[in-house]
Amino acid sequence: MQRCGYVHLWLLGSVLLICLISGVTSVKGDVALLHQESHLKPLSEFKSNLNQTEQGNGSRVITGISIVTFKWNHVKTPYLVALWILVAVLAKLVIESFPSVTNVIPESALLICFGWILGGIIWAADLQQTFSLTPTVFFYFLLPQIILDAGYSMPNKLFFTNLGGILLYAILGTVWCAATLGLSLWGCQAGGAMGALDIGLLQYLLFGSLIAAVDPVAVLAVFEQVHVNEVLFIMVFGESLLNDGVTVVLFNVFDAFVKLGGPRINAVEIIKGIISFFVVAFGGSLVGLAFGLLVSLLSKYTKNIQIIEPGFIFVLGYLSYLTADMLSLSAILSVTFCGVSCQKYLNSNMAESSVNTVRYVMKVFANGSETIIFVFLGISAIDKTIWVWNTGFVLLTLFFTLVYRFIGTFIQTWWLNQYRLVPIAFIDQLIMSYGGLRGAVAYGLATMLDDQRIKEKKLMIGTTLIVVYFTVILQGVTMKPFVTWLKVKRAAVAEVTLIEKVQNKVFEHSLVAIEDISGQIGDNYLRGKWKIFEEKWMSRFLLTSEARKKQDYIFNVFHQLNLKDAVDYVDEGERRGSLEFVRNESAFINFKKKLGDEFSEVLPDIMAAASDDPDAMRRDPVSSVSLQMHEKTMQGTRETEDIDAHHLLQQHLYKGRKQHLHRYSRNHLDINTDDNEVQEIFQRTMRNRLESFKSAKMGLAPAKTITKHTKKDQQQKMPNGKSTDTSKNYYANNEGFELSEGDNASGSEASGGSFPFRVNYKAGAGIENPTFMPDPDPMAPMQIPPWQAEDEPDGSTVSPSQRAQVRLPWTPTNLRRLAPLRISTQSTDSFAQADTPASQEKDKKWPPPPPPPSDK
Amino acid sequence: YDTFMTVSCHSYVDTSISLEQIENLHKRFQRLSDNEETISRKHLDSIPSLDNNPIKKQIIEAFFDKRNQHQDEVGSCEEIGFEQFLMVMSHFRPPSLKTTEEEKEAMRKEKLRFLFNMHDTGNDGTITLVEYRKVVEELLSKSGDIGQEAAKAIADAAMLEVASTNVPHMDPDDFYEGITFEHFEQILKGLEMETRMYIRFLDVETPTLRCGKSTS
């Protein structure tokens, strides 16, 4: 609560600052950023400001050197931009600090309300609206990243499986809504329902086309809080994404018609309009695909510039948007398909850390834009000049948008259900219709109307705003109760287990096989063929050879495997306390260890975060598409715990100081994996084990000196020893971890019998944790030190004991495949072996600890 | 031909496969069998598009598995007629809006049973570790770089998972015998396989043409 108070103060402060500044600007009569007409090119404006100031300074008689000058004009534009972003984000912060409110009212609605308040304050200060959302800012700076994110995190399989339906809704549905709305309004006007309005049929159709599209931003904002089943979700979401493109195209076509004027429109022009509709839509998609493939191809060669590797997708994504726009093709569709087509290849080609970076940065951009958009949607309303009221027009528009959405959805679904194997249920149709939220795209298009030709532009803008408010706020708020009340099938909370994955794979293959046998060409058939084609050509062309190896789902399987173990391991330790926790390790450790060892060749970053798993994303489309990053952790506390535990392990199992060594460098962020260090780690773990082994044998408590660093350690710490120390303290204190001498948990893992292994982690620290750093070295297997490499053949050729081959040994605590000791696996086993000689006769398969190469 | 159809229809209740679909499948059957009455493993084996399928063998075996024929016998036969062919295919029929809850439940069991039988090669009602290892091995056989050992490891890990979810309290000396059908059902609950296990036999235009009565 205390924190919330501060937050309020902060917000108040920044709001005041904005008011002050906007006051200053309006007094000076300058052009403010985001002012209606004046910032087509904020940058050049900025430059001209710069010039102005310079000239001003030059012309003044210089009487002396002033020590400090106040150069507001100099920085005005970027300053205001930054301030606005700050305010919007702070607003989100405040809103999110009341989860009880956001549970009931969707965040988007709250942001709009906040925008109203802010707009009111500005209005009070200026007596006019100096800030509003303009099409340029919206379409060029706010929208692209949202769409890119949506495309990039699209659950591809689901999307393409339902592509037919999605396309139907997106194209036919939008055209239907636009046409019916336009015609009905026109009819109503002819019937005299709205008084005298200077709007012709074409203008009505134009208006209908801009308001027809369901907005992905609004839909996501609402649907991510209501976990509906995945088919329903992808239908609504996919539709909203694609029909944005469609509506823009439609808008442009009608805009051209309006420009052409009624009498000059003949059949040829109409046909040209229809053709251009398809050319624009598919051309845009093709441009997007081309760019997507380009990004994928590029990512194949970016290994050496890992730091800027994540930048490519953003730059090229934006370029695909601009290119399509330049060619007057659909920019939205372009950037959507760019994201959709490259995600798979990027995720496999790039280093794990880059994949994470992309994911996070994408969410940061998208979420930030979304917040700003909603706030500005609110602010824009507080402006006397845009409001021209016409009750008939407004109410009829509201009524028709709602009704035709329902009718359209039902008709199309009925038609679609004739061909769908699993029909869309009635309740799902209701939600689909009700989920037709309009949003900022409609508003952006409305402000783009040409007031020369459309006399009632203001009325249209006002009405659009009302429709947006109505759908986002009213429908958004009622959506959740509605879904609960109708008992809509929710998304299954999927806990991915290994066996489920394997079974799923078997299952998919059997479907394809049955289709092959029955000689049908169905969805699975096509999917199977596409897969083969992809493996044969696309992958070869677009994936690095390494990525191709790992690309198989074995990658995911192994992730799961190890993650699960890591979690179990910690859980177990937590539950049982320090001593008991390792009591049972003796008998089965080899069985488990062997596993871990085998895989350490296949896959280096065992400990990547739970959310890293691309397959997990596919399995849970609702959250992965969501703009909220933290949504990923909302699958229940267990997930959070997983991530926490995982975080914990990561902090303590591998890292240690080495991670910080290169922090000052701009080009390298990787762990130092040079031989010395590997050696050092090896020796340290060995020492730890021996010490604890001794002490365990003698029944002594472990001496604290176990983890004392050698002289060499100290030296290595030197470059930035200070930062290392502070960060360590940070883990220990702030994170709530208490891991005694945990700087090398491989030690405590093996010697846990004598180590108090106590973990207090708190839920919620999760992946938002700033100190969280995924293991970024895909090269690790290449750098296995030679003395280990020698042993690999041994390890892989040994077979388990007779007994273990047929039946599975079981003990509650034996899930210890955990492979924390990537660097020194062998020695663990050797230690375990030494520790428990009695139980090893049968399973004995590990050679004695390989001698580490002599230390210089 | 007509009499043949009726025969197969009568013995073939409880499916929502239409007459038209059956005809189509029959054509396919004849193509596969070179107009013979029965079909044998080598016929199915020679389907070129199956070559890339890692579980080809198991699928083909499933067609000759007597357990999938709604007969109370076990073992496998050398060749099957169209009726049996249809029987196996019927495991992959889609649910329709009209199916009742009980029918759905029966369908679910039946579909899962099919998958279970595919793995339980020993006919003993449990998928043992050895059997499961075989499954995983075959599954991974097409993906090149993954060796036998890795496959084994995955199978083991998966088995452990099943064991730990189904038998949470086991003595350290106990052994998990294998996956029973109940356990199988349990672990696959989350996947909702039963609602996804269908294929489109052909473009269904007239779903009204049913053959046989629907009995639950």
Q: Give the model confidence (pLDDT) of A500-558 as tens digits.
A: 777 777 777 777 777 777 766 655 666 667 777 777 777 777 776 666 655 555 555 55
**Over 60: is that where the pLDDT of A171 sits?**
yes
| pLDDT of the residue at A707 | 40
Out of A507, A528, A810, name the one closest to residue B175 (CB).
A810
Contacts of A371 (CB under 8 A, 6+ apart): A88, A89, A91, A92, A111
- In angstroms, rounded to a whole number, what is the distance separating the alpha carbons of residues A513 and B43? 14
Task: Tell me whether residues B145 and A599 touch, CB distance under 8 A.
Answer: no
- Tell me which residue has tokens 């979401």: A237
Candidates A184, A176, A178; CA nearest to A396 is: A184
Contacts of A802 (CB under 8 A, 6+ apart): A842
Q: Using CA atoms of A6, A7, A9, A12 in order, give the dihedral in degrees to the nearest 10.
A: 180
Task: Tell me whether residues A494 and B190 touch, CB distance under 8 A.
Answer: yes
Strand partners, B40: B79
Candidates A734, A689, A694, A718; CA nearest to A832 is: A689
Give the 3-state secondary structure of B161-172: HHHHHHCCCCCC
Q: What is the pLDDT of residues A353-405, one digit of tens each?
A: 888 889 899 989 998 998 998 898 888 888 777 777 788 888 888 999 999 99
3-state secondary structure of A808: strand
Q: What share of chain B is helix, strand, coil (3-state, %, to 5)?
A: 55, 5, 40
Q: Considering only CB atoms, which chain A residues are within 8 Å of B174?
A: 810
Q: Considering only CB atoms, which chain B residues are within 8 Å of A602?
A: 145-146, 150
Contacts of A743 (CB under 8 A, 6+ apart): A652, A656, A657, A707, A728
Q: Are A581 and A752 in contact (CB under 8 A)?
A: yes
pLDDT bucket at A7, cuts 50 / 70 / 90: very low
Out of B49, B146, B175, name the one closest to residue A809 (CB).
B175
| pLDDT of the residue at A403 | 92
Q: Pick the residue of A429, A506, A543, A802 with the most B CBs within 10 A to test the interface with B by mutation.
A: A506
Query: Residues of chain A with pLDDT > 70: what percent?
Result: 53
| pLDDT of the residue at B68 | 74
Top mean-pLDDT range of A242-246, A311-315, A476-480, A605-609? A311-315
Say whether residue A593 is in contact with chain B using an 8 A CB cutoff.
no
Task: Tell me whether residues A796 and B149 touch, CB distance under 8 A.
Answer: yes
- In angstroms, rounded to a whole number, what is the distance separating the alpha carbons of residues A329 and A351? 33
**Over 80: is that where the pLDDT of A289 sits?**
yes
Task: Tell me whether residues A507 and B136 touch, CB distance under 8 A.
Answer: no
Contacts of A545 (CB under 8 A, 6+ apart): none
End-to-end CA distance of chain A: 58
Q: Are A236 and A219 in contact (CB under 8 A)?
A: yes
| pLDDT of the residue at A316 | 93
Q: Are A110 and A101 in contact (CB under 8 A)?
A: yes
Q: Pick the residue of A413, A810, A839, A843 with the most B CBs within 10 A to test the interface with B by mutation.
A: A810
- In angstroms, rounded to a whole number, what is the distance separating the alpha carbons of residues A776 and A755? 29
Q: Considering only CB atoms, which chain B residues are within 8 Å of A505?
A: 139
A666-681 burial, b at 16+ Cβ within 10 Å, e below that, comes to eeebbbbeeeebbbbb
Q: What is the pLDDT of residues A711-752, one digit of tens each?
A: 444 444 444 444 444 434 444 344 333 333 334 333 333 333
- In angstroms, rounded to a whole number, what is the distance separating the alpha carbons of residues A590 and A596? 10
- The DSSP secondary-structure symbol of A201 reads H
Query: Residue A701 burial by CB count (10 A; 0-12/13-18/19+): exposed, middle or buried?
Result: exposed
Candidates B150, B149, B118; CA nearest to B135 is: B118
Higher pLDDT, A270 or A833: A270
Task: Tell me whether residues A518 and B156 touch, CB distance under 8 A.
Answer: no
Contacts of A1 (CB under 8 A, 6+ apart): none
CA B216 to chain CA centroid, nearest Å: 20
- In angstroms, rounded to a whole number, what is the distance separating the alpha carbons of residues A701 and A693? 11
Contacts of A265 (CB under 8 A, 6+ apart): A202, A257
Chain A residues 803-822 with CB within 8 Å of chain B? 805-812, 814-815, 817
Out of A495, A507, A532, name the one closest to residue B115 (CB).
A507
Q: Count of residues for chain A?
A: 856
Contacts 24+ apart (CB under 8 A), B93-97: B93/B15, B93/B16, B93/B17, B93/B198, B93/B201, B94/A421, B94/A422, B94/B16, B94/B198, B94/B199, B94/B200, B95/A422, B95/B195, B95/B198, B96/A423, B96/B16, B96/B207, B97/A423, B97/A425
Q: Which two tokens stand for residue A106?
A: 């969707």
Task: Tell me whether residues B149 and A599 touch, CB distance under 8 A.
Answer: no
Say whether residue A793 is in contact with chain B using an 8 A CB cutoff.
no
- Tell me which residue has tokens 């988007």: A108
Q: Considering only CB atoms, which chain B residues are within 8 Å of A575?
A: none
Say whether residue A515 is in contact with chain B using an 8 A CB cutoff.
yes
Task: Tell me whether residues B130 and A806 touch, CB distance under 8 A.
Answer: yes
Handedness of CA A82, A85, A91, A97 (dihedral sign): negative
Query: What is the ipTM metric for this complex?
Result: 0.82
Q: Considering only CB atoms, which chain B residues are within 8 Å of A502?
A: 135-136, 139, 154-155, 158
Say whether residue A519 is in contact with chain B using an 8 A CB cutoff.
yes
Stretch A278-304: mean pLDDT: 89
| pLDDT of the residue at A496 | 61
Task: Tell me whether residues B190 and A517 touch, CB distance under 8 A.
Answer: no
Q: What is the pLDDT of residues A107-136, one digit of tens each?
A: 888 999 999 998 888 888 877 767 777 888
Amino acid (one-letter) located at A82: A
Number of Cβ within a 10 Å radius of residue A748: 29
**In this structure, what are the phi and psi dihedrals at residue B148, rounded to the nearest 5 degrees?**
-60, -40
Q: What is the pTM of this model?
A: 0.63
One pLDDT digit (tens) per residue for chain B, 216 residues: 444 554 444 444 445 567 777 777 788 788 777 777 888 888 877 777 777 777 778 888 888 877 777 666 667 777 788 887 887 777 777 766 666 777 777 777 888 888 888 888 777 778 888 888 888 877 777 665 556 677 777 777 777 777 777 776 666 666 667 778 888 887 777 666 666 777 766 433 333 333 333 333
Q: Considering only CB atoms, which chain A residues are within 8 Å of B96?
A: 423
Candidates B54, B108, B114; CA nearest to B89 is: B114
Task: Tell me whether residues B193 and A507 touch, CB distance under 8 A.
Answer: yes
Q: What is the pLDDT of residues A211-253, one digit of tens each?
A: 888 888 888 878 877 777 888 888 888 888 888 878 888 888 8
Out of A498, A602, A814, name the one closest to residue B161 (CB).
A498
Task: Please tell me the distance in Å from A519's CA to the nearest CA on chain B.
Answer: 7
H/E element holding B39?
strand B38-40
How many interchain CB pairs under 8 A, A with B? Answer: 178
Q: Are A779 and B129 in contact (CB under 8 A)?
A: no
Task: Tell me whether residues B157 and A810 touch, CB distance under 8 A.
Answer: no
Candidates A241, A238, A233; CA nearest to A164 is: A238
**In this structure, what are the phi and psi dihedrals at residue A729, rounded to the nearest 5 degrees?**
-60, -35
